[in-house]
Structure 1
């Protein structure tokens, strides 16, 4: 769209007014207030083909995908395309496999988005936003990656748009957060009676002192134990030592997991801030052009 309110619509008809100073041709399209400049490859004498998914300009569709978050040119104010919003098809998307949709109306974003056909529906979607499913998030990320790889193969200068980068970043953050939450160990409950006794026994064996509340006892000269009892005692001591090593190893792993989660959280927050700042700069640069 243009600042005066004119909006380019895929398949619209117009009249060539002459060569353009800034591009190839100046054209006045139906519904436009002003003449605008276009490249020759953007124009056609024949009606253009339908978009991905078989959609055409003017189709009214519902958004059934994950919420899309973004920021305006200032980088201070966010906007959101929500599950269930209804919009209108206005053109081909940023890639041949996408559709350009505009969502206008009370309570809507009043912005244009490039979306996959799988994220659009003729009927009002039900059942709630699908982003609670980690498999759905994986599908979104895979589709974005595949599209970017195709764009890279078609031309060295082909790059994903700022909106696509922000979408992929937000989806990746949600996926990582969900996976980390699933991996987080459950909070340990109180020790059982048997575990408490084992802990008390290990403390006494290690320190050579009685547990709290027990009286000091005189130590008699050790008598020679029968072979079977001696072996049983040694086995019990080795078993207790093995349990202690296992407990120490578990504690070390828990501490390492906690440090990893903390580092991951900091990295995601930093990436989110950088993504928002980059998006704001790119939008501002485009508007300046």
Structure 2
């Protein structure tokens, strides 16, 4: 029997004020609206080659330290833009100043480690599920009220080998993809499968430790939305998965609990 995903506790990172418990009225009202509507908000933005100083100033100390560890300037810029874009989006959603938003992590639902669980909004301390993803040229954020959400985006690239298909796809999925001749249709189908799977494993909160991608069936030849089953250590959860149209050379997918009540619409914000 499929079950609801279990909630995960939020872990406040070391830079956050552990003693902070105040939640602005605007933030409480925003989360309440999201809970009642079941909406998911998705923001996306283009990524540039160089770090924008206006983005850099929005990062906290830990994020700046992480940004400086990237060897390539383009990767540092992508990380900075994605974190800054996420902070601006959550600020807008909750009606609080940008500098009042702080990100941390949830405690890993698999092992209880506070350092590698799913991302979380820890200030203001509100019950929001968030997921971030970035790829060549694009960053994405998904937010909903509750505990679990997953989003993934991948830039279209030709599938380099059948070995990659076997690593990512189930045998049935590989048959569907490899039956197509090399070209845009095969590339699109492969990436639809990939992003659907990544969205699910991110929503579960276990990543690739939970269920190998080549055992997770997401029926890429079928149009969405669809229900996907995830199994880990005898525990089965089901996920509502749908594709996102970002109007560019990317494949993107969103996953949330199929038992969400209500299962509201997805609000896709235009790039800023």
TM range (shorter): under 0.3
Point out the structure with the larger helix share: 1
TM-score (structure 1 length as normaliser): 0.25
Indicate the structure (1 or 2) with the bigger Cα radius of gyration: 1
Point out the structure with the larger strand share: 2
Higher RCO (C-alpha under 8 Å, 6+ residues apart): 2
